Homo-oligomer: A and B are copies of this chain.
Amino acid sequence: MLALQRNQNLNLIMKKTVAVDMDGVLADVENHFLNLYNQNFGTKLTYEDIKGKPEREAFPDPGVVMKFASTPGFFRTVPVMKDAVEGLKKLCDIFDVYVVSSAMEFPQFLEEKYDWLAEHFPFIHWKKIVLCGDKKIVNTDFMIDDHCKNLDFFKGTPILFSAFHNIDVDKYVRVDNWKDVVSLLKIYA
């Protein structure tokens, strides 16, 4: 009986864990790509033009996504996703939050990514940041991500954050924005 009580108390004390992706969830990379593309090529591409296409094939000029993403300053200047700061703050009140970003493909920009987080999300302690390659060994209760390749191997509850490249995916619980994230996760805290 005492052991049961202790476990129940521990459950009350221990917050559930959430892994939150950066690019496409905290960082509005699709708007960043669109803006950079239109600035560089004098076009007027819109969200409708790239909707439903994989990230690396969405733009008329093949390889441009890789080119932008490997340009110094790209990750440092990406705009913050709408409502992400307030949303993540609320999540931190009720969950043990880790920011988990697949960042090793461009190791020269690891510090840029850290600096971007430190500027826009200063309430995220360095202990809670994970910059990795694939996310297969990440073990949290929830994962919020815009890429199926990360959610497919996840053992907890996967949550798909809407992006132009994933609109046809229907195998995960979907959130369209940060207000949705907070509303959904409040239920599970």
**Residues in A lying within 8 Å of B, measured CB to CB:** 17, 19, 98, 100, 104-105, 107-108, 110-111, 114-115, 118, 125-134, 136-140, 155
Q: How many copies does the complex hold?
A: 2
Across the interface, name the chain B residue whose C-beta is closest to A105.
Answer: B126
Q: Report B-chain residues with C-beta under 8 Å of the C-beta of A133.
A: 125-130
List the 6 closest A-B pairs by CB distance, nearest first.
A139-B139, A127-B133, A110-B110, A104-B126, A107-B114, A130-B132
Residues of B within 8 A of A138 (CB): 137-139
The residues of B that contact A137 with a CB separation of less than 8 Å are 17, 19, 98, 100, 130, 138-140
> Could you say which residues of chain B place their CB within 8 Å of the CB of A115?
107
Using Cβ atoms and an 8 Å threshold, which residues of chain B touch A107? 110-111, 114-115, 118, 126
Residues of B with C-beta under 8 A to A100: 137
